[in-house]
Amino acid sequence: MLVEDAEARSSSCGIVAQRSSAHGVATRSRRAEYAQHSPLVVELRQQAHYWQAQHARAVQREAAARAEVQRLQQIVRDQRIQIAELTQQLEALKAKVAWLKQQVFGRKSEQTQGDVDQVNGAGAGAETADGSAAPQSLSPPPRRRGKQPGTKGYGRKHRTELPTEEVVHDLPEAQQSGPRCGKPFTMFPGTEDSEVIDWEVHLVRRIHRRTRYRPTCNCQALPGIVTAPAPPKLIPKGMFSVGFWVRILLEKFLFQRPLYRVRQALALEGLSISQGTLTGGLERIAELLQPLYVHILERNRSAHHWHMDETRWMVFAELEGKVGHRWWLWVSVTQDTCVYILDPSRSAEVPKNHLGEGAEGIINADRYSVYKALGAKILVAFCWSHVRRDFDRVAKGYARQRPWAEAWITRINDLFELNRQRIKVLSDSAAFQLKDRALRDAVQAMAEVRDRELDDATLHCAARKALESLRNHWAGCILFVDHPEIPMDNNESERRLRNPVLGRKNYYGSGAIWSGMLATMAFTIIQTLLMNEVNPRNFLRAYFEACALNGGHSPENLQEFLPWNLAPEQKDAWAYPEPFQ
């Protein structure tokens, strides 16, 4: 057993020795081979490291390039957006310049070009930008102003109502005989008559001489000398008559001539008067006009339908809490009154305070936001003339949008015409129903076109702005449909502001707060008189004479001077001969 174990161990040791020898040989072989190829391996390793580094740098450059490309692409996108915005701003500014040029140099009439083309025989077969036929206006061709060609004239009017003064013209004595024989002429029956109308403006210094008496009795019931009563004066101890102050008021607040120009006119007639004298007299007269103004104000407030508007009015006086000199002149027009209100603010408090709590009715106004804040009981009928101006501005400011805008202007003009036809037959129920149905169909069709165009994503921004404004104010715009007595526009208030605006241009406004209030009262009284076809000259003369009889105070019978209370014969006596524009 021991021998066998020893042999086995000897055999296994031999095997291990053989394996170790073989491994050593292989190792030496590999070392020899490595030593032989070592420079090539080193070189390949170096090249591998180099290209790995180059690849890493290329990946970094690619990433940087991609980031730069993305940055530049974002810049391009931003610049495209900016270019689009600037292009839109430029187009809007060009449109504004075109509108400003129109305001300064263009025609002020709102007569559309289509109406002008109809008068000139043009406009037939007009097309829009896409080649489709433009809507044909329902309005008849407007009549030219003045005498129409081919009509018979009226002949010269004889002004028999004017005072007449006859002037006799005779031949000079040297020409009353024959030039050769020298025999005198004999008078031939009749005269050759012609007439001219002269305008005389002259100042008169009227001296009132009051007779004096001395009683001859001894009853001592009277003083030593009895004198005739002094003539009444509008301003006690004043040097100017009632007629003089009436003329000053009309020159300043109806014909809008500044006082310095009135003084120049007086100087041409020989009267030199200081500015302070006129200013002091007007300040006294303002106290006499205030009661009339208050009654007209209350009458205006009690109505249920008003036309309202406002414009700036400069008051060159310092007011605590007020920055600058811009005040606001508000106008409120009813059926028989025209009230002006001067206020430092343009806020909704002005019409709220004027109308008072609990006022109910309808206001014709523009789309100024204060009129929308007057409460649920006050409905606002927005002016279609202002709506039409939106499309007119697009037509004049954006040449490519002109056909689109003119099509909308035609639709609006058609509404005016359909409403005019409806009002014309207001007393005929059957005819009114037909015209009313046609108007309502046109209103519905306009709303459908508006909504369809607003759904178009390619609609121009200016066109979209006009249509969105129309949609936002649609309820007020179509208020006239259910109220035929309400006009479609607010032109009445704008017309009543023309006269004060002319004064603003001529004398810039008012130099003091009391002066501004006087202007407000004078505008109110004069325009209310003109609305009621009362001659302001005759009325103011009678009113101031009544004030003079009352010692320079407003008359006790003030109600008799209110235009809506005038007796028919009194109104005829004070009637204005023709409408005042």
Q: What is the pLDDT of residues 204-261, one digit of tens each?
A: 898 989 998 888 887 877 777 888 888 899 998 889 999 999 999 999 999 999 999 9
From the CB of residue 410, how many other CB atoms can be counted at a distance below 10 Å?
19
The chain-wide mean pLDDT, for the chain, equals: 87
Q: How confident is the model at residue 102 (pLDDT cuts 50, 70, 90)?
A: confident
Rounded Cα gap, residues 118 and 484, in angstroms: 28
Q: Which two tokens stand for residue 44?
A: 């390949």
Q: Which two tokens stand for residue 172?
A: 């000079």
Residue range 63-91: average pLDDT?
A: 92
Strands 378-382 and 361-365: parallel
Residue 118 is predicted with a pLDDT of: 40
Q: How confident is the model at residue 162 (pLDDT cuts 50, 70, 90)?
A: confident
- Contact between 185 and 174 under an 8 Å Cβ cutoff? The reply is no
| Res 138 pLDDT > 70 | no
Residue 116 is predicted with a pLDDT of: 42
- Contact between 463 and 394 under an 8 Å Cβ cutoff? The reply is yes
Residue 2 is predicted with a pLDDT of: 46
From the CB of residue 412, how many other CB atoms can be counted at a distance below 10 Å?
21
Rounded Cα gap, residues 464 and 450, in angstroms: 10
How do residues 342-374 score in pLDDT, each as one tens digit? 999 999 999 999 999 889 999 999 999 999 999
Rounded Cα gap, residues 443 and 412, in angstroms: 9
Say which residue, 8 or 559, is predicted with more confidence: 559
25-40 burial by CB neighbour count: b if 16+ within 10 A, else e? eeeeeeeeeeeeeeee
Q: With helix as H, strand as E and coil as C, how does 231-289 read?
A: CCCCCCCCCCCHHHHHHHHHHHHCCCCCHHHHHHHHHHCCCCCCHHHHHHHHHHHHHHH
How do residues 405-447 score in pLDDT, each as one tens digit? 999 999 999 999 999 999 999 999 999 999 999 999 999 999 9
Rounded Cα gap, residues 575 and 205, in angstroms: 29
Residue 140 is predicted with a pLDDT of: 64
Question: What does the domain layout of the chain look like in residue ranges?
Answer: 241-379+491-581, 384-489
Distances (CA, A) of 368 to 342, 481, 493, 514: 18, 21, 14, 28
* DSSP character string of 79-97: HHHHHHHHHHHHHHHHHHH
Single-letter code of the amino acid located at 467: L
Residue 106 is predicted with a pLDDT of: 78
Distances (CA, A) of 472 to 333, 368, 369, 450, 476: 26, 13, 12, 11, 9
Q: How confident is the model at residue 157 (pLDDT cuts 50, 70, 90)?
A: confident
By C-alpha distance, which of 544, 490, 461 is closest to 243?
544
Say which residue, 455 or 98, is predicted with more confidence: 455
How do residues 436-445 score in pLDDT, each as one tens digit? 999 999 999 9
Residue 316 is predicted with a pLDDT of: 95
Rounded Cα gap, residues 108 and 98, in angstroms: 14
Distances (CA, A) of 307 to 62, 119, 486, 562: 73, 32, 10, 21
Rounded Cα gap, residues 435 and 243, in angstroms: 52
Q: Which two tokens stand for residue 291?
A: 């009661």
| Res 3 pLDDT > 50 | no
| Res 149 pLDDT > 50 | yes
Range of weakest confidence among 135-149, 245-259, 508-522: 135-149
Residue 36 is predicted with a pLDDT of: 66
Say which residue, 472 or 4, is predicted with more confidence: 472
Rounded Cα gap, residues 468 and 453, in angstroms: 10
Percent of the chain whose pLDDT exceeds 90: 61
Residue range 61-89: average pLDDT?
A: 93
Q: Which two tokens stand for residue 504?
A: 């603003």
Strand partners, 341: 330
- Contact between 142 and 111 under an 8 Å Cβ cutoff? The reply is yes
Q: Which residues, in sequence order, are CB contacts of 534 under 8 Å at separation 6+?
A: 563, 566, 571, 574, 575, 576
Distances (CA, A) of 567 to 2, 527, 573, 574: 167, 20, 10, 11
Residue 480 is predicted with a pLDDT of: 96
Residue 124 is predicted with a pLDDT of: 40
| Res 179 pLDDT > 60 | yes
Residue range 118-123: average pLDDT?
A: 39
Q: How confident is the model at residue 120 (pLDDT cuts 50, 70, 90)?
A: very low
Distances (CA, A) of 295 to 309, 450, 492, 520, 556: 21, 46, 22, 14, 14
Q: Which residue has the tokens 């086995």?
A: 8
SS3 48: helix
Strand partners, 415: none
- Contact between 328 and 350 under an 8 Å Cβ cutoff? The reply is yes
Distances (CA, A) of 465 to 368, 454, 458, 475: 16, 10, 13, 17
Residue 379 is predicted with a pLDDT of: 96
Range of weakest confidence among 219-228, 266-275, 346-355, 572-581: 572-581
How do residues 315-349 score in pLDDT, each as one tens digit? 999 999 899 999 999 999 999 999 999 999 999 99
Residue 126 is predicted with a pLDDT of: 46
